[in-house]
Amino acid sequence: MIVFDLHCLDSGETFEAWFRSSADYEDQKAAGLVQCPFCDSSRVAKAPMAPRVPRKSSGAALAKIAAMQAEALKDSRWVGDRFAETARAMHSGEIAPEQVHGQATLAEARSLAEDGVPVAPLPLPVVPPGEVN
């Protein structure tokens, strides 16, 4: 499998697409099967190869992770340093389960994991939202 950076001539988007081979890409392209995932246009072309600048690409990757995290936390409630006790109370059924995020020490996180409480570290630190109550 090979991956090409493709560029849509209609929407201007750049996206990645996988093909079995370069010839496979040419075949699919000729048959109009290579389409832009943003606007379904088949007027796509291989994007000019850009030199991969580490600092730039890691910045873009970080922005992507930050966006994904923001999306994941959109419906999540910030519980600050009460994260460990809140997660534990939900796990034991004391309180209704909901999506929460907050701060936990490494020891707390390890203890939760040992007790089978499903928690996951966030890829990026979260800035506590102002004053809570």
- Closest contact distance (angstroms) between CB of 37 and Zn ion is 8
- 82-91 long-range CB contacts below 8 Å, 24 or more apart? 83/108, 84/108, 84/109, 84/111, 84/112, 87/112, 87/117, 87/119, 88/112, 88/115, 88/117, 91/115, 91/116, 91/117, 91/118
| Window 18-37: residues binding Zn ion (CB under 5 A) | 36
Footprint on residues 41-80 left by Zn ion (CB under 5 A): 41
Binding pattern to Zn ion, positions 114-133, x when CB under 5 A?
Answer: --------------------
Q: 82 by DSSP, 3-state: which?
A: coil
Region of 3-11, 56-64, 100-108, 113-121 interacting with Zn ion (CB under 5 A) = 3-11
- Kindly tell me which of 28 and 41 has the beta carbon lying closer to Zn ion: 41
**Which residues of the chain form contacts with Zn ion (CB under 5 A)?**
8, 10-11, 13, 36, 38-39, 41
